[in-house]
Structure 1
Amino acid sequence: MTVRVAVSGASGYAGGEVLRLLAAHPEVEIGAVTAHSSAGDRLGQHQPHLRSLADRVLVETSAATLAGHDVVVLALPHGASGAVAAELGDDVLVLDCGADHRLADGAEWAAYYGGTHAGTWPYGMPELRLAGGGTQRERLAGARRVAVPGCNVTAVTLGMQPGVVAGVVEPDDLVAVLAVGYSGAGRVAKQHLLASEGLGSAVPYAVGGTHRHTPEIIQNLTAAGGRGVAVSLTPVLVPMSRGILATTTARLAPGADAAAVREAWVAAYADEPFVHVLPEGQWPTTAATVGANTALVQVAVDARAGRAVSVCALDNLVKGTAGAAVQSMNLALGLPETLGLTTEGVAP
């Protein structure tokens, strides 16, 4: 089975990472690579590491250039995917790496993103646990539209959902602080994203409940069975290109102890190919996930504070975006879920 895939937004970080993974996928033929302001350039001017695709010419993003493909990946700015997707037929699998189709509540979209909500698509986090049993992967089989999750959302959700599902933590008082690499801000020219500004400095952003990923986290943990989910989310830009290290804490449920907490996390991910709970005493690092579709997780109990502490590390461009898209694509097309994806990182 060979599928022809077009990638829109190919000159950006997310689009480039999608192409890197697809270039190694044994069942994929890469079709059109499209862009907006970079149309007419060779891909190698923007993604010089993609040697096998360097001579490809970026073309304008339009229904015409995206037609004739089995799969279309939209790696576009927030708010841009809805109009493009509306021009594509129902027979093509469309994967949106932006936020346009993630939220079920249109009012939440308007509050955090502004503009008109484009609608809700099946959610592309196969490992998301569901309150009635099972995982989100069952809902992705045969899907023709998939909303790829936010990278910070993935780290917090995977880090804390086992406790919510098992009922060993209280979901109404979650506190998440994330160290985030600069690629998470996208390939844009802004003063605070310059190396001269960011190197040697850690900078919080979207503080005080304003980060756009907040309602998505609440949506996920509610789907996992949480009631009255509330999260205080504080991301911090740190001087690394890739990676998220999410530390999330929650109050312990009555009667829950360290043994019950650890068992909840181990049981939740025992059969997951890409989410690994580390041995006790070993903590996740972003360096161990670079280039891999892996989320590394650890959990501990702060008995004095009465809280569970979860740490999740992942590569924001792989498991946080492009890897999730490819993983969801595999499931939607009936291919092996792990095809074209690796758990092996790059070190040092």
Structure 2
Amino acid sequence: MAKYTVAVAGATGYAGGEALRILAAHPDFDITCVAGHSSVGESMAKHMPHIPQLANLVVEDTAPEVLNGHDVIILALPHGASGKLASQLDPNAVVVDLGADHRLEEQAAWDEFYGGDFYEHWTYGMPELITGKAADGSYTRQRAALPGTKRIAGPGCNVTATTLALQPGIAEGLVESQDIVADLVVGYSGAGKNLKRTNLLAAEALQSALPYSVGGKHRHIPEILQNFAHAAGKSAAEASEFTLGFTPILAPMSRGILATVSARMTDKAKTLSDEEIRAVWSKAYEGQDFMVLLPEGTLPATGNIIGSNAAHLQVVTDRKAGRIYAFAAIDNLNRGTAGQAVQSLNIALGLPEDAGLTKIGVAP
């Protein structure tokens, strides 16, 4: 079988670069086009020397006539850019948007956190997302919506970590919908590949941690609430039933997210033992190969998931505080962005879900 040809827009950024790294080693894809903006005409050998097989590719303009003609188009562009471009892309190509333009289902949420034109919601690319329960009590998942789709919206990285940490408790009614708190330690690549105050020079960043987008302003919040609503078997329009205190903190590491998500225990949860609560997480992720519920007493660490599409998970209870604490460690560029996108792309094209991906991290 011939390989699928792939064009990647935003190829010299962190997200686009990680997509290229994964796809370059994928048995079913052939990267034939890289596109950018400020780097047009430059060799990929300059921008991605860690991917030598792409060295001879030259960055082209991010234009529909450049991207069209490929089987797969990956958009790793700032919010607003992919939405404007998408309507001009080949309807027969599979297009994966790594940005925010097609994630949200409700325009009111987009208007509040992003502003500008609101674009059509695409098939959401988080296969393990719980979307409700079947008649037999088993979970339904977003995976079922992916086969055959031509348009995939890649989730946000902070969204991924927060959702995967807490969704089993939401699905089983173990946590209250109000007063959910998420504190995330985030590597600097999560702030993008540009110099700004939240992406400091090494002399300022290496010995320091810095919160950003605080006070309910982070743009991933409505997407997280949308996922929480779906995990509870509700529509996106009911996401306002949940409240989330969300604080991301940049830490001196290049990659990784460690999410600590806590919520008040429901009366149902209070009747369960710690072992029974842990069993809920175990059941929720049974058969989900990239989801790793760590042994009891072992907490996730970002150093163990770098370079992998895995999520390391743990859950504990604080009976005195009456709260459940759920943890997730992911690589923000892999599981949080490009790896999860390739996983969803595999499903859409009928390929093995784990093709080109690994749950083995790089350590130390």
Classify the TM-score, shorter chain: over 0.9
Determine what percentage of the aligned residue pairs are the same residue.
Answer: 52
1:242 aligns with 2:249: no
Distance 1:218 1:98, change over 3 A: same
Alignment check: 8 A CA contact 1:169 1:252 kept? yes
Can you list the C-alpha shifts for 1:242-290, whole angstroms capped at 9, x where unaligned? 0000000011110323223211100000110111100000110001000
CA apart distance, 1:85: 1.0
What's the TM-score, normalizing by structure 2?
0.94
Whole-angstrom CA distance in 2 between matches of 1:255 and 1:78: 41
2:354 aligned partner, one-letter code: T
CA apart distance, 1:192: 4.1
Match for residue 176 of structure 2?
170
- SS of match in other structure, 2:181: strand
Whole-angstrom CA distance in 2 between matches of 1:189 and 1:206: 16
Match for residue 96 of structure 1?
97
Whole-angstrom CA distance in 2 between matches of 1:215 and 1:153: 9
- SS of match in other structure, 1:245: strand
Match for residue 136 of structure 2?
none
Pairwise CA RMSD: 1.1
Alignment coverage as a number of residue pairs: 348
Query: Is the deviation greater in 199-208 or in 312-321?
Result: 199-208
Alignment of 1:1-40 (within 5 A): 1=1, 2-40=3-41
Whole-angstrom CA distance in 2 between matches of 1:192 and 1:97: 21
- SS of match in other structure, 2:339: helix
Q: Where does structure 1 lack aligned partners over 5 or more consecutive residues?
A: none
Can you list the C-alpha shifts for 1:289-332, whole angstroms capped at 9, x where unaligned? 00000100000000100100011000000000000110010011
Can you list the C-alpha shifts for 1:90-118, whole angstroms capped at 9, x where unaligned? 11100000000000011211111110111
Match for residue 274 of structure 1?
290
Alignment check: 8 A CA contact 1:168 1:260 kept? no
Whole-angstrom CA distance in 2 between matches of 1:324 and 1:213: 17
Alignment check: 8 A CA contact 2:198 2:212 kept? no
Alignment of 1:279-294 (within 5 A): 279-294=295-310
Alignment of 1:254-265 (within 5 A): 254-256=267-269, 257=272, 258-265=274-281
1:221 aligned partner, one-letter code: F
1:223 aligns with 2:239: no
Whole-angstrom CA distance in 1 between matches of 2:57 and 2:90: 25
Alignment of 1:75-90 (within 5 A): 75-90=76-91
Match for residue 180 of structure 1?
186
- SS of match in other structure, 2:123: coil
1:345 aligns with 2:361: yes
Runs of 4+ in structure 1 over 2 Å off: none
Q: Where does structure 2 lack aligned partners over 5 or more consecutive residues?
A: 134-138
**Aligned with residue 204 of structure 1, among 200, 211, 218:** 211
1:311 aligned partner, one-letter code: F
**Aligned with residue 302 of structure 1, among 303, 318, 336:** 318
CA apart distance, 1:122: 0.7
